[in-house]
Amino acid sequence: MIKEAMKEETYPFVMRCLPYETYALAPCISAETQLYHHDRLYKAYVDRLNGALANYPALHGLSLRELLKWPENLPEAIRTAVVRNGGGVYNHQLYFDSMQPFCMEQDPKGVLLEAIIRDFGSLRDFRELIKETAEGQFASGYGWLVLDADGTMKIMATANQDVPDLKRYIPLLNVDVWEHAYYLQYQNRRADYLNAWFRLINWRKVACRYEEAYAEVEEKRLLRGEGDLPTVFEGEASVEDSWLSEAEETEFFFVP
């Protein structure tokens, strides 16, 4: 399995390129939004994180996840800067990397789909819950799908550039609900942006992260001598009916 490169990078952190063209997510997310969001805002977090770490060589061998997992171990003088800007880098990398150009064929499949049904009831319930949670995040922040240390997936929201508690959760997917992520196109209509975002999720990448995270959680539990993790049910899971109603599918093509 391909390891997430995110875990391996250390100082100086480098701005990652988008894994698709700047315009490739239009009309759901416009090229203009992506340009400002990725090339300006995300880059600024990378620069500020490197600036904060520059005079602390003892931290230069740590990955972003390691820096964010134990913030209490960071020198007090740079703790806030590393948490805010490191979070800004981590969150934006996961966000941009979790999307792909829209196509009608994409659905979660296999083990990930089975796990979604196990933990949320159905794909439709999952979709409603993550949208509702992200929409309900007061002011700026993110909506998340994470794998809990107990082996089940959870949905949550975080404020500002906070990451979920990485001692307990492994992030699988996130969505940026800062206004800069959608205001140029959607103004205050966060729900419309979330509907559009949901159509862009790169499920293949989320599935890779899930399988890798599940193996990591399982290994730790075995080492601790704890019981079995919840497993997915036997047999092939399938999406019984499209989670998009016909009206929603039609509506998609009129997204600004």
Binding site for Mn ion (CB under 5 A): 176, 178
Beta bridge partners of 201: 99
Q: Return the closest-CA partner of residue 36 out of 134, 143, 142, 181.
A: 181
Q: Return the closest-CA partner of residue 94 out of 134, 115, 60, 65.
A: 65
> Which CB atom, from 38 or from 199, has the smaller least distance to Mn ion?
38
Output the smallest distance, CB 95 to Mn ion, in A. Answer: 7
Reported in sequence order, the residue ranges of the chain that DSSP labels E, i.e. its strands, are 141-148, 153-159, 169-176
Output the smallest distance, CB 66 to Mn ion, in A. Answer: 23
What gap in Å lies between CA 64 and CA 78, rounded to an integer? 14
Output the smallest distance, CB 41 to Mn ion, in A. Answer: 6
Q: 236-241: long-range contacts (C-beta < 8 A, 24 or more apart)? A: 237/110, 237/113, 237/114, 237/117, 238/113, 239/107, 239/113, 239/123
User: Could you tell me if 45 and 88 are in contact, meaning their C-beta atoms sit under 8 angstroms apart?
Assistant: yes
Output the smallest distance, CB 51 to Mn ion, in A. Answer: 19
Output the smallest distance, CB 102 to Mn ion, in A. Answer: 20
> Which CB atom, from 29 or from 207, has the smaller least distance to Mn ion?
29
What gap in Å lies between CA 120 and CA 256, rounded to an integer? 31
> Which CB atom, from 4 or from 176, has the smaller least distance to Mn ion?
176
> Which CB atom, from 126 or from 186, has the smaller least distance to Mn ion?
186
Output the smallest distance, CB 37 to Mn ion, in A. Answer: 6
> Which CB atom, from 184 or from 244, has the smaller least distance to Mn ion?
184
User: Could you tell me if 206 and 130 are in contact, meaning their C-beta atoms sit under 8 angstroms apart?
Assistant: no
What gap in Å lies between CA 168 and CA 217, rounded to an integer? 10
> Which CB atom, from 178 or from 193, has the smaller least distance to Mn ion?
178
